[in-house]
Structure formats: C-alpha cells, structure tokens
Amino acid sequence: MEKKLYRSKDKRMIWGICGGIAKRFDMDPTIIRVIAVLTLLFGGGGILVYIILRFVVPLEPQKAADDDLAGFVK
C-alpha cells in the first residue's frame, strides 16, 4: 500500500503539516519541526511553503488517525 501525504490529526502543533510529513516518512515529528524552524530562520521561504501546504495537503482521514491510536488504547 502506497503511503500518501496528509495533515496529521493527532501529531499536530498548528496545522499538522510537520506531523503529516513525519508520519509519511516514518520519522519523529520533532525532527521535521526543527528542520521547518531552521528553514524559517535561515531561508525565509519556508513560511510561504508551509502556508501553501496547509491548503494543498488534505486532512488525514478518520480511519488512518484511529489506526495510529489503536495501539495506545486499551
């Protein structure tokens, strides 16, 4: 099954972009957030990309969010 990029519902700080990217590439969301902040500080164009991704990347379907939390609920 091919993974798709979605905005995360459960690993979000603002709009779920970094959480969704982290989920897509099986990484820790903190690493993606640090990279995003560094891009904002040193590149400046990162904020524009982040805002564009907010409107382009769809929100994660409910089933995918529930599957990720299934291991934590007892």
pTM over 0.85: no
Query: What are the structural domain ranges in the chain?
Result: 1-59
First to last CA, the chain: 27
In three-state secondary structure terms, 7 is strand
Residues 6+ apart with CB under 8 A from 33: 13, 18
Tokens of 23: 């989920």
Which strand (E) or helix (H) includes residue 47? helix 46-56
pLDDT value, residue 16: 87
DSSP-derived letter for residue 25 is T
DSSP-derived letter for residue 74 is -
Question: Mean pLDDT of residues grouped by 10 in the chain (74 residues)?
Answer: 80 86 91 88 80 89 64 52
